[in-house]
Amino acid sequence: MYQFIENSDRSISLHDCRATAVGLNGNVLSFTFADGICIGKRHPRNTYGKTMMTGQAQVDFILPQDDHPESNFTCYVFFKKKNKTVRKVFSIEKLARKMREKGHTLEFLYAYKGHDSIIYECVMWRKKKPYSRECQLVITPAGTSYSWNELRPDKTV
């Protein structure tokens, strides 16, 4: 259980944060960030005057209630094949399995927010060559919550 839960991303960023696990429970898509997420210096809970990391954190995307919540999530992973790039779609289950069994992590770089959807540009880090692959997440959430227990004054951004 987490001490702090925010339903707004105001002064919260996933930029350069690495998710170490993902899962779908009902209509809640959860990413676990073992090293935390970024809390901006203007966030009301941040009294340090600097952007800093939290301890372990979780981000929950509440997907719209329907029979197929996974239809509100798409993960594209890009592979180099000879002289071209191929885009493959990973299901939530496949992404979770890669993270759990192979130790892959997902580094969030940029977020593009539209009317209904969020596009995250990410890097999937792997333990063997090639050590990284570009990927893109497209999520259509009905809501989002950011959860953590403490700020880490020793980990400023």
Residue 35 in contact with residue 12, Cβ under 8 Å?
no
According to the model, what pLDDT value does residue 41 have?
Answer: 95
CA distance 56 to 59: 10
32-84 tens-digit pLDDT: 999 999 999 999 999 999 999 999 999 999 999 877 888 999 999 999 988 99
| Eight-state DSSP code of residue 94 | H
Percentage of the chain with pLDDT > 70? Answer: 100
- Residue 12's closest CA among 50, 51, 49? 51
Confidence (pTM): 0.95
Token readout for 27 is: 């209509």
| Beta strand segments in 40-142, E | 52-54, 57-62, 73-81, 84-90, 105-113, 118-125, 132-139
67 token code pair? 């029979």
Every domain of the chain and the residues it spans: 4-156
* pLDDT for position 34: 98
First to last CA, the chain: 25
